[in-house]
Amino acid sequence: MAAQTLQQPSFLLANLKADTTTKPLLQRCQDLVKIIDEYPAKELHLIFPWLVESVFGSLDGIIAGWNLRFLHSRSNEYNIVMDFLHPSGPMMKLVYKLQAEEYKYEIPVNYLPGPVKACIQEGVLPDCPLFHNKLQFPLSGLLTLNIALNPFEYFMYSFAYCLITPKNYPQGHHGSSTDSAYFVLVDTYLKYFLPSEGNVPLSPFSDSRGSVTAPSPRASTVSFAGYGVHSPSLLKHHIFHQPSVNAEPSAQEIWRSETLLQMFVEVWLHHYSLEMYQKLQSPQEPFSPTEEHVLVVRLLVKHLHAFSNSLKPEQLSSSPSAHSHTHTSPLEEFKRVVVQRFVQQKLYLFLQHCFGHWPLDASFRAVLETWLSYIQPWRYTGEKPNPQPDQNRTVPDKWETFVQENLLMYTKLFQVFLNRAVRTDLVNAKNALMVFRVAKVFAQPNLAEMVQKGEQLFLEPEHVLHHRQPRGYLTPSQGGSYLSSRQRVVTDMVFKVKSHVYALEGQDCQYKQMFGTEIRGAVMKLIQIIAQARQTAKRISDQSGEVAANNSFLSWFGFGSPDLNNTFHGAEPEESGECLKKTHEFLDRALENLCQIFKLNQGQLNQLISNLGSSEDDGNSKQLPDCIQGENGLVLTDLGRRQIINGLRRFDIQYQGDPDLQPIRSYENALLVRLLYRISSLVNERFAGHMNTLCSRPDFLGRLGRHYLTDPGVSTQLRPSPRTRLRTESSREPRLSLRVLASYRTILLLLLFYVFGAFLSLGPFSSTMLLLAGGFLYGLFMMLFGDKLKTH
């Protein structure tokens, strides 16, 4: 290896590229470990961009890299990758080695988040200080703008961007897995650089000049006081003004924590601008997160709560003026403001977009749980779980400030969820579970009261803010008064709540109270839909029980319905059996929780349900959904769509094609179905003319032929639509159908008949003739008396 150091860097890069096609991953990683240890930073600098791209893939998705999102612990390469990319592993050693030399690496502006890219292209400074003073103007003749990042920033940006790069799933792999190498690495990086206990570990690697230093100081930003403006980037006093290597280790190393978090937040969350929602503009960014993306965001939210909640009680209760003293370490100061200052705004817009654009299916559960994780920081305090059930745990009063400073996260997103819930099929157990989860969270004792108090603070008259007094007020022991002190605290909270709402919704927002008349009416509507879904679930459950009884062992002997059209009742797998019982349970508990949240008594609930029963009784389920007459027939109204979604009414849909071409049922032999279809097709093709002539006769033989060669249910079918009328007419032609002989029930009955014949000393021929005679007599009887039996 010492001889290889004499090679030109271009030869080293060429050799590494050649090894990717000839050597296994283990050997390549071993070679890279030696190269990182032995080569100087000047030569490693040239291979670093290629190495990052070969690991995480290219930003455009053409190069897949190591496919971290699809690499699972069952793979032989999993441990190799995890060791190489560990925060204290070889790859990070390379990053620190290059960081010490202050190399820069460029990323095209086109691959930045949409709002950041738009700001740069418009000549406006992005709100995130991470991208300040990083713009690289193109050379003459080039139109692409780039930003220059240091090695740690470049590595973390590429790692974060790997999640949102559109990639094709390798064969046999699926996304949305929480045991993938990528998901585990995210968790590892968060725990390493944002530790809940202790400080960020110092870099285990150092060069001859000493420890790795932080990036160059950024320019100080001006602090604004007013609505809609967040505080400047934190830690500038501790980090960016302390380039000394001999500074406090935690202060010297905390820049990695802030950089990692800002990279994750910008790449994963910052895809939707405030202006898009405040000005009701159509979204310019076509970005749509995947379920896997949302699961990683939830991991970030949960860890940040745990990180923030690990703040020492004495630091948590200290006055803001103490932040600049040496008593508070940079990491503790970071914990104090990390959620509000770094995550809140971008997560709010991210969740709002997901709530409005996610499909109305069970995959929304990932988005829902991300939201519920954020609004319940008390679940991630590190304390031992209370033996009481979750719903009986009172939310401690200390979280009142968090609720008020995140008011829109509770109220606005709850309103958006209501709009989704009333359009969702709540008969499905997974959808019913989501409604129950939201109701259960908001029904926690003391939470609704905190939200109400936050709304009251926001609705305080504006003149309250104009009487804010300077912070240096006198304490009661110094001649002040308790009343003025309390009033000042209330005024501060009013200011914080208003700042939060106006920052996210704009100065001219029309705030709708969660406990106001309009939202209360929407909740009443949801309660009615829940009651409708309960009735539907009960009806489907009863029908399923009847079908199960009819298809029991006794039905094999002819007591069940042979109609193939009646074997499918439109129920999904999630809407049958135990799932329907779960649906009923979830909806019952959701009703209880909603009544608890909005203070509805049992009388009001019974009145709502009774009104529902009088207007939408069980008999209506057999009527058509609400429709209007259009040019091409009936057109569903909004009411009709809701009736179908909640199973209140439905169209009587029947199969109108060739019965012999229906899907093979579980009670049929697939081989016999295909064989008998070929035989009947040959007979029908050969004798089609004779069968038409026979069935067109008005005499006794014609009636008998029509009984055996035509479908008796055709005349009772509903009026077909114009598009299916021609196909229905062709299916009415006389034909021979032998598919009934492929049923296991028919086979068993025939076997029992021949066994019974053998017991009576009848041979196969005699039994067959007896069977044909019986079939003929049955047909004759049905031809003569079938119409009379139907009328009765």
Whether 323 is covered by a domain: the verdict is no
Res 691: pLDDT: 85
Instruction: State the number of CA atoms in the 13 A half-sphere of 247 facing the CB.
Output: 21
CB 710 within 8 A of CB 694: no
**Stretch 9-37: mean pLDDT, rounded?**
87
291-320 pLDDT, tens digit each: 999 999 999 999 999 999 998 776 555 544
Q: Which domain holds residue 89?
A: 10-101+151-159
Res 234: pLDDT: 38
Residues 262 and 358 in one domain: yes
Whether 228 is covered by a domain: the verdict is no
Residues 138 and 155 in one domain: no
- Whether the per-residue pLDDT at 440 is higher than 70: the answer is yes
Residues 255 and 349 in one domain: yes
Tell me which residue of 717, 575, 712 sits closest to 653, measured CA to CA: 717
Residues 95 and 109 in one domain: no
Number of domain units in the chain: 4
Residues 124 and 54 in one domain: no
Residues 19 and 44 in one domain: yes
Whether 185 is covered by a domain: the verdict is no
Instruction: State the number of CA atoms in the 13 A half-sphere of 69 facing the CB.
Output: 26
Residues 691 and 781 in one domain: yes
Res 393: pLDDT: 79
Residues 257 and 361 in one domain: yes
List, in sequence order, every beta strand (DSSP E) within 15-162.
Answer: 105-108, 135-136, 146-149
Percent of residues, the chain, with pLDDT higher than 90: 36
Tell me which residue of 83, 102, 101 sits closest to 92, measured CA to CA: 83
524-555 pLDDT, tens digit each: 999 989 988 888 888 887 776 665 555 554 44
Residues 198 and 90 in one domain: no
Whether 662 is covered by a domain: the verdict is no
Residue 575 φ/ψ region, left for φ over 0, alpha for ψ in the -120 to 50 degree band, beta for the rest: alpha
Residues 49 and 108 in one domain: no
- Helix (H) / strand (E) element for 522: namely helix 517-550
Residue type at 290?
T
Provide the CA 405 distance to its chain's centre, in angstroms.
26
Which residues in 230-268 are b (16+ Cβ under 10 Å) and which e?
eeebbbbebbbebeeeebeebbbbbbbbbbbbbbbbbbb
End-to-end Cα separation, the chain, in angstroms: 97
**Stretch 47-57: mean pLDDT, rounded?**
94
Structure pTM?
0.74
Residues 22 and 155 in one domain: yes
**Stretch 161-166: mean pLDDT, rounded?**
90
Residues 80 and 113 in one domain: no
